[in-house]
Amino acid sequence: MKKVLGMGNALVDILVRISDDKMLAKFDLPKGSMQLVDKEKSQQLIRELHHLNYDVASGGSAANTINGLANLDIPCGYIGKIHDDNFGKIFTKDMTQKGIEAILFNGGQDTGIATTLISQDSQRTFATYLGAAVELAPEDLKESYFKGYDFFHIEGYLVQNHELIETAVKLAKKCGLKISIDMASYNVVEGNLAFLTKLVSEYVDIVFANEEESKSFTGKDPEEALLHISEMCEIAVVKVGAKGSMVKTQHERVLCKAIPANPVDTTGAGDLFASGFLYGLAHNLSLEQCARLGSLLAGNVIEVIGPKMDENRWTQIVSGVNDIISD
């Protein structure tokens, strides 16, 4: 069976539903974005929200994708950096109990925290303290970590560390892995446009982007952005929210509807879409089936708070996966 290796910012999510968007304005957090904050601001934000109900779960975009694949019994690995603290223990336990080969280095700063503010319309805004995650360095990586895997999935949030990403993709290519990237956030794309363009053109095989990210990357609307990105890589995927997704290669174009859902939180939607799509590729399914699998997982995760789903829902998802495979 094909195996998937992920690398990303190893973070613990603190998920909070907010009654209105005044909190976003107070902390200068543009709605729907991912903003990097320092430790002091992260702690200040958590103190401000302590009276609200919140959930805690291991997170980070690539980690969510890998966790989703592991729930579908795909052999997985993950590279990241945490600290030996309570949040670090939460992250490690969440990975290892799913059978994921966790290559987790110990950093000097606290384990990273992504405070996720969920608006009433289910849109989520991240205030991210990277902590130890940002200490992941090129010298941590070894060729042996990549051997035996077939796919290497990275999150766009990492592209701010250019040397790390370049080292990783070169090692992955040397070991014959297909490389996928989730663009992650429109403001990250805007801030690293030249580097991302070079990365996709030279190394990346599969690109996942939503409407905002594809617009930031190409300056074009979704359909034209899809065409533009597909000329740079093997498979381009542009997700258009409730409308579904569009997939394009040099020889094929697929439109896929989103499944009916009752959204409460969009956290993890793109990450789990990537899980489903990569699951399909790992099983040599058609592009249409890959997109349908992505929609199945994304449509389910938006019905729960946070990027994790319970065993009962995963049982239903597996049944849906089998139906798509048998079509």
Flag whether pLDDT at 48 surpasses 90: no
Cα–Cα dist 115/216, whole Å? 24
Q: What was the pLDDT predicted at 133?
A: 95
Name the residue with higher pLDDT: 27 or 175: 175
Flag whether pLDDT at 148 surpasses 90: yes
- What does the domain layout of the chain look like in residue ranges? 61-110+138-326
Cα–Cα dist 300/261, whole Å? 7
Nearest C-alpha neighbor of 89 from the set 50, 58, 133: 58
Cα–Cα dist 244/17, whole Å? 25
pTM: 0.92
User: pLDDT band for position 299 (50/70/90)?
Assistant: very high
Q: What was the pLDDT predicted at 34?
A: 80
DSSP designation for 110: P
Question: For 204-231, how does the pLDDT look when each residue is reduced to its tens digit (9 = 90+)?
Answer: 999 999 999 999 999 999 999 999 999 9
Flag whether pLDDT at 237 surpasses 90: yes
Flag whether pLDDT at 260 surpasses 90: yes
For the beta carbon of residue 81, count every other beta carbon within 10 angstroms.
25
CA-angle at 75, arms to 208 and 285, nearest 5°: 55
Q: What was the pLDDT predicted at 33?
A: 84
Residue type, 132: A
Query: Under CATH, to which class is 61-110+138-326 assigned?
Result: alpha beta
Three-state DSSP class for residue 118: strand
